[in-house]
Amino acid sequence: MAMKIPKSGYGRFMKEGAQHFKGTDEAVQRNIEACTELASQIRSAYGPNGMNKMVINHIEKLFVTNDAATILKELEIQHPAARIIIMATEMQEKQIGDNTNTVVILAAALLEHASNLINMGMTPQEVAAGYEQAAEKALEILPTLVVKDASDLKNMDEVRQYLRSAITSKQYDNEDIIADLVAKACVTTCPANSYNFNVDNIRICKIIGSGVNTSRVMNGMVFKRGAEGEIRSASDARIAVFTCPFDLTQTETKGTVLIENADELVNFSKGEESEVEEQVKAIADNGVKVVVAAGKFGDLYLHFLNKYKIMAVRLTSKFDLRRLCRTVGAQPQARICAPAVNLLGHCDSVAVQEIGDENVVVFDKNSETGKVATIIIRGSSQSRIDDVERAVDDAVNTYKALCKDGKLLAGAGAVEIELAKEIESLLTPFETLPKAIAENAGMPTTETLTKLYAEHVAGHKNAGIDIWKREVMDAVAHNIFDLYAGKRLAIKLATDAAATILKVDQIIMAKQATGGPKPRGPKQQDEDDEGMA
């Protein structure tokens, strides 16, 4: 019988199949390589001329975008060190809604620079401590680079300029159209105290067809479904909202009705009809022109709604029902009744419109301000519309960040070059960002960076890259701004992520769990499936 040789090292404690890496070469350098490799894939998507990535996720859904947050979310990256950077980008997305690619590129540039320093003889702990000190210095310098304070967030023209930069990085050709749409929607729904601005008040309705330039903003809500009855429009309408189906309700206990002759049968059905008519008449007498219900409309109720010229709209989502109540100022009713006048909502116009080949119900308030605004996005394909939606989402989040902190910095790489000039220890990592902008625009990187440094040394702190004329320009004069809050958080998160990865000297991976049922594949999809839903 062969002797069993005892395991040595970590093998003694762990299950068969566990992995263990230790030391600078095995752990630190491997982590740095993984993070720089991740950033090298994302770097080409940075800036206005960034390239799109085609990502097919685990359920075979197609994404064509240059939005770093979406790419990283759908790739489902497993490497533990790369996951740390992805967690930093998720935090940036949650807090600011923009600058996610900045976090990835800056963190990877810091790690790449750290790798060179470690090869020269420094320890990872010394490099991490140096980065943390340098980041503190950068955050001290950053407030001195603020060029403008966005004070008037109700001014449409000013808001449009502030949002253009966030949109340009996603939709380079359509930035003016999208900036107009978002500025109008945000200013319309912004409360008296702009600090309380709620992103949820900007809704998006995506309808395939036509082009992005035919997109528009509605002061109210738009639902992708038609009306239930014959009445297709109502103006200056009082609205009753019900959270239950608008139909005859079933009793909890079963009852038996004994009918002995034809007259009793006729009277029984008449009694039901007269009761339904009484309910609908009571609603109509209160001046209600539109009934919105969360469930189906019964045939009998629909007949009397048509008789009393009341429009019927069915909504399946309880969240949409809540937002509609907030928009029109209605109190939702739990059962069918005639609500008091003070519990009814009001809307200037409710109508079924045909946009493309889609019937939509539009609740439109013809006023300058409102509680909820809807941006109707048009586009030639679903992936195109989705990408425009991401640009709109970034712009709305930028407006929200401006409501909290209105400070603005010069864009187009001006701030990064100024910080690189001031903090020599972070020169290489910071210049990676303007270098990526120039590289993606097809400009000679070394020559462009040299011109930028020359301008900044001469005292022009707002000098940035003009990708259109392929030269150096004044970013503030061209209305290219970056959010101070976004840039500050991006530097902090990138430095923290890089320092955390540098402080890891061991990677211990337990054996992965196996077994369990196999994941189901995607269902077969037909062209008619969406129409039948």
Per-residue pLDDT reduced to its tens digit, 150-170: 777 888 888 888 888 888 877
Q: Which DSSP symbol is given to 447?
A: H
User: Does a structural domain hold residue 502?
Assistant: yes
Q: Can you give the pLDDT at residue 9?
A: 60
Q: Reduced to 3 states, what is the DSSP secondary structure of residue 21?
A: strand
How far CA 362 is from CA of 227, 241, 315, 355, 377, in Å, comes to 10, 15, 13, 11, 14
Q: Can you give the pLDDT at residue 256?
A: 76
Among 16-20, 66-70, 81-85, 438-442, the minimum mean pLDDT is found in 16-20
Q: Can you give the pLDDT at residue 11?
A: 60
What's the mean pLDDT when you consider all of the chain?
81
> If pLDDT is split at 50, 70 and 90, which confidence band does 529 have?
very low
The neighbouring-strand residues paired with 509 are 19
User: Does a structural domain hold residue 471?
Assistant: yes
pLDDT digits (tens, 9 = 90+) for 179-234: 888 888 888 888 877 788 888 888 888 888 888 888 888 888 888 887 787 888 88
pLDDT digits (tens, 9 = 90+) for 358-416: 888 888 877 666 778 888 888 888 888 888 888 888 888 888 888 888 888 888 888 88
Q: Can you give the pLDDT at residue 351?
A: 86
349 lies in the same domain as 466: no
Across 505-528, average pLDDT: 61
123 lies in the same domain as 225: no
d(CA 420, CA 39): 20
> If pLDDT is split at 50, 70 and 90, which confidence band does 533 have?
very low
**Residues near 470 by Cβ (< 8 Å), separated by ≥ 6?**
441, 443
pTM, full prediction: 0.81
319 lies in the same domain as 442: no
Q: Select from 366, 388, 420 the last residue of a domain.
A: 366
> If pLDDT is split at 50, 70 and 90, which confidence band does 249 have?
low
Q: Can you give the pLDDT at residue 531?
A: 41
The neighbouring-strand residues paired with 53 are 65
Across 48-59, average pLDDT: 82
Percent share of the chain, pLDDT over 90? 0
Q: Are 294 and 244 in contact (CB under 8 A)?
A: yes
Across 266-291, average pLDDT: 81
361 lies in the same domain as 435: no
Here the tokens at position 269 are 């059905």
> If pLDDT is split at 50, 70 and 90, which confidence band does 511 have?
low
66 lies in the same domain as 139: yes
Of 400, 333, 335, 324, which Cα lies nearest the Cα of 363? 324
341 lies in the same domain as 420: no
Q: Can you give the pLDDT at residue 500?
A: 87
User: Does a structural domain hold residue 168?
Assistant: no
Tally Cβ neighbours within 10 Å of residue 154: 13
Residue 5: pLDDT over 60: no
User: Does a structural domain hold residue 173?
Assistant: no
Length of the chain, in residues: 533
Among 221-225, 246-250, 259-263, 396-400, the minimum mean pLDDT is found in 246-250
Residue 440 maps to which CATH number?
A: 1.10.560.10
Q: How far apart are the first and last CA of the chain?
A: 67
The neighbouring-strand residues paired with 21 are 507
Question: Crossing angle, helix 427-440 and helix 445-457, to 10 degrees?
Answer: 120
Residue 426: pLDDT over 80: no
Residue 530: pLDDT over 50: no
Range of the domain at 296: 220-366
Question: Crossing angle, helix 100-119 and helix 68-75, to 10 degrees?
Answer: 70
Across 268-287, average pLDDT: 80
Here the tokens at position 293 are 């219900």
Q: Are 508 and 10 in contact (CB under 8 A)?
A: yes
Burial class (CB in 10 A: 0-12, 13-18, 19+), 28: buried
- φ, ψ for residue 516 (rounded to 5)? 85, 170
In the chain, the number of structural domains is 2
Q: Can you give the pLDDT at residue 6?
A: 54
68 lies in the same domain as 133: yes
Q: Select from 366, 391, 424 the last residue of a domain.
A: 366
Instruction: Look at strands 53-56 and 62-65 and give their pairing.
Output: antiparallel
Percent share of the chain, pLDDT over 70? 88
> If pLDDT is split at 50, 70 and 90, which confidence band does 251 have?
low
